[in-house]
Chain A
Amino acid sequence: MWLMMSEEMKIVERDGVKFSNPVVVEGLPDIGLVGTIAATHMVEMLGLEEVAHFESKLFPPIMVMHRGVLTDPIRILGNEKLLVVTSEIAIPPTAIYPLASVLVDWLSAKGARLVVSLTGFPEQNRLDIDKPLVFGVGNMEQSVTLLKENGVEVMTEGFIAGIYALIMKYCMVKKIPAITLMAQAFPNYPDPGAAASVLQVLNNMLGLNVSVDSLLEKADEIKIKGRDLMRQTRSSLERVGKMSEQEIPLMYR
């Protein structure tokens, strides 16, 4: 067992796991549960196993049962070269800073070469959109170049709020290239269509082959199952100033 910890949070790693400059995909609950839906689908399609989990008294006292096995709700799954961070509970606002900090310290120790966060961008007219567009944010020149090379429109002005904003910031400090892919999404309903859009961009970018057909086929089922997590997430997002993403920044350079 290997530990990365701060006073409030720790990552508990399984024994015998090896890493070889992994690419990391972060899909924690946020707008439209886009990241969580996409990350969960990746885990299913690629058959990824748990490599580590988070522990903290800042999390609600919840464990999850899967096929009779007791599991922590916030986990890292993957293999030597690809890691996926996901959660089955909303991240409490008080846990966001320590979680982002401990995660990036751990990823730095593992030699992560790229961190990609998947999320949604609240779109008021989502109902009229067939295929959500995907925008990107990068934390350094190298990340922005990667977005442009993959045909992703880069956001150049505006606020970003939530855990992925901190992950990108802490990655910048550790000199880890990080990007966030944001798909137009229903802000308050689980959005498998938006999750499919970010996965398609991720497929191109990382050379993955995660089919989104089954994700779209199961869209209704995912939306029904995601209602409770969406409710929790909505409440949590209201408390972290998520609506500031819709505001116009005063300072232009």
Chain B
Amino acid sequence: MGWIEDLLAEVEGAIVRPSWSSTDRCLEPLVEIENRENEIIVTVDLPCVDKKEDISLEVSEDSLEIRATLKKAIRWERWGMIQKNIEFTSFKKVVMLPEKVKPEEATAVFKRGVLRVRLPKARRKFTLKIS
């Protein structure tokens, strides 16, 4: 790895945001983005979320917003000074997509606490036959 990548990784580490917000009492879930040839797959870990009805998704051409209600509010009574007084009630995350997608063709599945959203790319590739 070059020094620029090292420096960038260090800077990224230094400015890392907290994974929670006291303003709207939400936690940020862990997200994986897989950029495939014809689609983008976003996978989100949503522990403590019971059923698909507790999740709302908003998709645009270049972003996916996930909100999910926790089955019960969470508070860590021994954590930090401010944090111990916060009751977290939901997950929230806005994912900026690496390429434009067709939001109307997106599909989602929620299984064992993991949400998987498939977003077909707006510009898709097709196999061409050689005559």
Q: Which of chain B's residues have a CB closer than 8 A to the CB of A190?
A: 45
A227 at the interface (CB under 8 A from B): yes
* B42-93 CB contacts (< 8 Å) to partner A: 45, 47-48, 74, 76, 78
- CA separation between A219 and B47, bound complex, in Å? 8
- CA separation between A197 and B110, bound complex, in Å? 24
* A206-250 CB contacts (< 8 Å) to partner B: 219-221, 223-225, 227-228, 230-232, 235, 239
Q: Which of chain A's residues have a CB closer than 8 A to the CB of B37?
A: none
Q: Is B29 a contact partner of A227 (Cβ separation < 8 A)?
A: yes
- CA separation between A220 and B76, bound complex, in Å? 14
Q: Is A235 a contact partner of B48 (Cβ separation < 8 A)?
A: no
A106 at the interface (CB under 8 A from B): no
Q: Is A231 a contact partner of B19 (Cβ separation < 8 A)?
A: yes
B92-123 to A contact mask, C-beta < 8 Å, 1/0: 00000000000000000001111010000000
Instruction: Name the one of B9, B47, B76 contacting A223, with C-beta atoms under 8 angstroms.
Output: B47
- CA separation between A190 and B47, bound complex, in Å? 10
Q: Is B48 a contact partner of A220 (Cβ separation < 8 A)?
A: yes
Q: Is A220 a contact partner of B30 (Cβ separation < 8 A)?
A: no
Known: A223-B113, A227-B19. 8 other contacts (CB 8 A): A189-B45, A219-B47, A221-B47, A223-B45, A223-B47, A224-B48, A231-B30, A235-B9
* B17-41 CB contacts (< 8 Å) to partner A: 19, 27-30, 32
- CA separation between A127 and B116, bound complex, in Å? 10
Q: How many residues of A contact B (CB 8 A)?
A: 19
| 8 contacting pairs across A/B (C-beta < 8 A) | A127-B111, A220-B48, A220-B113, A223-B47, A224-B47, A224-B74, A227-B29, A228-B19
Q: Which of chain B's residues have a CB closer than 8 A to the CB of A219?
A: 47
Query: How far apart are B90's CB and chain A's nearest CB, in angstroms?
Result: 12
A188 at the interface (CB under 8 A from B): yes
Query: How far apart are B126's CB and chain A's nearest CB, in angstroms?
Result: 26
Q: Is B27 a contact partner of A227 (Cβ separation < 8 A)?
A: yes
- CA separation between A231 and B17, bound complex, in Å? 11
Instruction: Name the one of A127, A224, A230, A239 contacting B112, with C-beta atoms under 8 angstroms.
Output: A127
Query: How far apart are B3's CB and chain A's nearest CB, in angstroms?
Result: 13
- CA separation between A220 and B113, bound complex, in Å? 9
Q: Which of chain A's residues have a CB closer than 8 A to the CB of B74?
A: 221, 224
Q: Which of chain B's residues have a CB closer than 8 A to the CB of A186?
A: 45
Instruction: Name the one of B13, B16, B30 contacting A189, with C-beta atoms under 8 angstroms.
Output: B30
Q: Is B13 a contact partner of A227 (Cβ separation < 8 A)?
A: no
Q: Which of chain B's residues have a CB closer than 8 A to the CB of A67?
A: 78
Q: Is A235 a contact partner of B47 (Cβ separation < 8 A)?
A: no
Q: Which of chain A's residues have a CB closer than 8 A to the CB of B128?
A: none
* A29-59 CB contacts (< 8 Å) to partner B: none
Q: Is B32 a contact partner of A239 (Cβ separation < 8 A)?
A: no
A175-192 to B contact mask, C-beta < 8 Å, 1/0: 000000000001011100
- CA separation between A27 and B63, bound complex, in Å? 37
Q: Which residue of A lies closest to B27 (CB)?
A: A224
Query: How far apart are B34's CB and chain A's nearest CB, in angstroms?
Result: 10
Query: How far apart are B122's CB and chain A's nearest CB, in angstroms?
Result: 26
Q: Which of chain A's residues have a CB closer than 8 A to the CB of B32?
A: 188
- CA separation between A99 and B16, bound complex, in Å? 25
The 5 closest A-B pairs by CB, nearest first: A223-B47, A220-B47, A189-B45, A220-B48, A227-B19
Query: How far apart are B86's CB and chain A's nearest CB, in angstroms?
Result: 13
- CA separation between A225 and B1, bound complex, in Å? 31
Query: How far apart are A191's CB and chain B's nearest CB, in angstroms?
Result: 10
Q: Is B78 a contact partner of A235 (Cβ separation < 8 A)?
A: no
